[in-house]
C-alpha cells in the first residue's frame, strides 16, 4: 500500500493503524501569529463546539482566549502528499483510457518505462489491443474488473472529465490518488499533458531521484452522498456523486418539488428541476443552468434551480454540514426523475425524496501547479472566462 504523508492546514486526529499522518502546514511568522502562540493560559467563561446532525466535536480552527473568539487558520488549504519513503515494491497502477482512444497509440511508447516500476492494470479492451500488438505485454499487464479487482495504489486517467466521473462511480468509497492527463475534448479537470505523461507518473509515485520526499499537491474533490427514500421511508438507492444530483421533470409540464434544508422547509418549487452539485460540479450542469462557479476547495453544497417559474429563486450555496432534501410533490405538476452524474435515471413517485449530504469519501486528484492555479487556468483556457475584446484596442483615436 502506498505510504504517504498528507499535510493539511488544520490538525486532525488519526487512529494508530493508519499508514499516514496529518499535520499542520508550517505558518510564516507574523505579528498576529506570534501574539496568538504566546497567549498565556486563561480561564474562559465559555467554550465553542462544532455540531452537525446531532453530533458535536471540538472546534478545529475556532479558539477562545480571554473570552475573545478568533480563527486559528483558514477553513481549508492546499493539500500536500509526501511519500514517507521510496517504494520498496512495485506499486499497483491502474491506467484508464477513454473509450474512443487508440490504446496502442496512447500507451505503446510509455509502457516499457513504466513496467519495471509498477504492477499495471488496464481494462479488458485495452489489454486485448496491447497484447494483440505485442504478446509479451501479457506477462506484465493484468485485467482490471470494476467492483471486483483490488484497489490500486494510484490511478492514471488519459481522457476527458468524464473519466473522473467513471472513477467516482466504480470507487464509491475510498479512492486512490488520481493523475488526470488531458486526452478529451474539454479537459477542465485534466491539467496534465500527454507530452509530459511519463515524467509526471514517475514523479507523482516517488520513482524519480529525490522525489520520494517531494511534496505533491492534491485537490480533494468533495462528493455528495445521495439517497432516495420512498414515501414509506425505505431507502431505494444510495450513491456518491462527484458532479451533481439532478432532480428534473420527466414530462412537458413543470415539476412540483419541496425543498428542505436541515429539516427546515425552504420553499415549494415549480420549475424544470433542481440541481444539487459539488463545487467540482459547479462548472458542469449547474453552470449551464446559470449557477455560480465555485472553487473546489470551498466546502459547500450548491443548489441551482432549472428554469424556475418565479423570478426570485436564485442559486444558493449551503455549508457542507447541511442536509438538503428534495421531495417529489403532486398537484398539477408533471412527473419527476433523478439522475446521478448524468447516469442512472430513476423515476420519483409522489412522496419520494432525495436526501443529499457531504460524502466522507473525496476524490483526490494530482495538481499540476496547485488547486487554485489549475482551476483559474482551466476557467480561462477551457471556458474563455469573461473573455472579450478590450474597448479601444487597435482602434484609432479619431471617431
Q: Which three cell numbers stand for residue 173?
A: 468509497
Answer yes or no: is 162 within a domain. yes
Answer yes or no: is 305 within a domain. yes
* The one catalytic residue among 134, 161, 352, 396: 161
The total number of structural domains that make up the chain: 3
* pTM of the shown model: 0.85
Answer yes or no: is 104 within a domain. yes
Per-residue pLDDT tens over the stretch 343-352:
999 999 999 9
User: What's the pLDDT score for residue 14?
Assistant: 37
User: What's the pLDDT score for residue 133?
Assistant: 93
Residue 12 lies in domain: 4-81
β-bridge mates for residue 306, sequence order: 273
Answer yes or no: is 217 within a domain. no
Domain end call among 17, 51, 81 = 81
**In this structure, how many other beta carbons lie within 10 angstroms of the beta carbon of residue 313?**
19
Q: Does 316 share its domain with 375? A: no
Per-residue pLDDT tens over the stretch 64-102:
998 999 999 998 999 999 877 766 678 899 999 998 889
* Nearest to 326, CA basis, from 267, 378, 244, 388: 267
Domain of residue 109, CATH code: 3.40.50.10330
Q: Does 44 share its domain with 77? A: yes
Per-residue pLDDT tens over the stretch 292-323:
999 999 999 999 999 999 989 999 999 999 99
User: What's the pLDDT score for residue 277?
Assistant: 98
Q: Does 351 share its domain with 293? A: yes
Q: Does 53 share its domain with 155? A: no
Q: Does 138 share its domain with 19? A: no
Q: Does 230 share its domain with 333? A: yes
Pairing of strands 154-159, 141-143: unpaired
Q: Does 98 share its domain with 31? A: no
Domain of residue 340, CATH code: 2.60.200.30
Answer yes or no: is 261 within a domain. yes
- 252 catalytic per annotation: no
Answer yes or no: is 232 within a domain. yes
Amino acid at each position: 500500500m502506498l505510504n504517504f504523508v498528507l499535510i493539511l492546514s488544520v490538525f486532525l486526529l488519526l487512529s494508530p493503524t493508519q499508514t499516514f499522518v496529518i499535520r499542520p502546514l508550517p505558518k510564516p511568522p507574523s505579528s498576529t501569529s506570534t501574539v496568538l502562540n504566546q497567549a498565556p493560559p486563561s480561564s474562559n467563561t465559555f467554550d465553542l463546539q462544532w455540531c452537525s446532525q446531532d453530533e458535536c466535536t471540538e472546534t478545529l480552527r475556532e479558539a477562545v482566549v480571554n473570552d475573545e473568539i478568533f480563527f486559528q487558520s483558514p477553513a481549508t488549504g492546499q493539500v500536500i502528499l509526501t511519500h514517507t519513503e521510496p517504494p520498496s515494491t512495485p506499486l499497483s497502477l491502474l491506467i484508464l483510457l477513454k473509450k474512443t482512444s487508440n490504446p496502442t497509440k496512447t500507451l505503446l511508447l510509455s509502457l516499457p518505462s513504466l513496467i519495471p516500476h509498477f504492477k499495471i492494470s488496464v481494462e479488458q479492451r485495452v489489454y486485448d489491443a496491447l497484447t494483440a500488438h505485442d504478446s509479451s505485454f501479457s506477462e506484465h499487464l493484468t485485467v482490471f474488473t470494476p467492483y471486483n479487482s483490488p484497489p490500486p495504489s494510484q490511478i492514471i486517467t488519459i481522457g476527458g472529465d468524464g473519466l473522473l466521473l467513471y472513477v467516482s462511480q466504480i470507487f464509491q468509497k475510498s479512492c486512490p490518488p488520481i493523475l488526470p492527463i488531458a486526452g478529451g475534448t474539454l479537459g477542465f479537470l485534466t491539467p496534465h499533458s500527454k507530452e509530459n505523461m511519463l515524467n509526471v507518473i514517475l514523479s507523482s509515485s516517488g520513482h524519480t531521484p529525490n522525489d520520494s520526499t517531494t511534496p505533491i499537491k492534491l485537490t480533494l474533490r468533495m462528493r455528495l452522498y445521495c439517497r432516495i427514500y420512498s414515501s414509506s421511508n425505505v431507502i431505494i438507492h444510495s450513491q456518491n456523486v462527484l458532479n451533481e444530483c439532478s432532480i428534473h421533470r420527466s414530462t412537458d409540464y413543470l415539476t412540483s418539488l419541496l425543498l428542505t434544508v436541515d429539516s427546515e422547509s425552504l420553499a415549494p418549487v415549480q420549475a424544470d428541476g433542481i440541481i444539487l452539485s459539488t463545487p467540482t460540479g459547479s462548472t458542469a450542469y449547474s453552470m449551464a443552468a446559470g449557477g455560480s462557479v465555485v472553487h473546489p476547495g470551498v466546502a459547500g453544497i450548491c443548489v441551482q434551480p432549472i428554469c424556475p417559474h418565479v423570478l426570485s429563486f436564485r442559486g444558493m450555496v449551503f455549508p457542507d454540514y447541511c442536509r438538503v432534501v428534495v421531495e417529489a410533490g403532486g398537484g398539477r405538476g408533471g412527473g419527476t426523475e433523478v439522475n446521478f452524474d448524468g447516469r442512472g435515471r430513476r423515476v420519483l413517485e409522489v412522496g419520494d425524496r432525495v436526501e443529499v449530504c457531504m460524502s466522507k469519501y473525496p476524490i483526490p486528484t494530482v495538481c499540476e501547479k496547485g488547486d487554485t492555479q489549475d482551476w483559474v487556468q482551466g476557467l480561462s483556457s477551457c471556458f474563455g472566462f469573461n473573455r472579450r475584446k478590450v474597448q479601444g484596442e487597435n482602434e484609432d483615436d479619431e471617431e
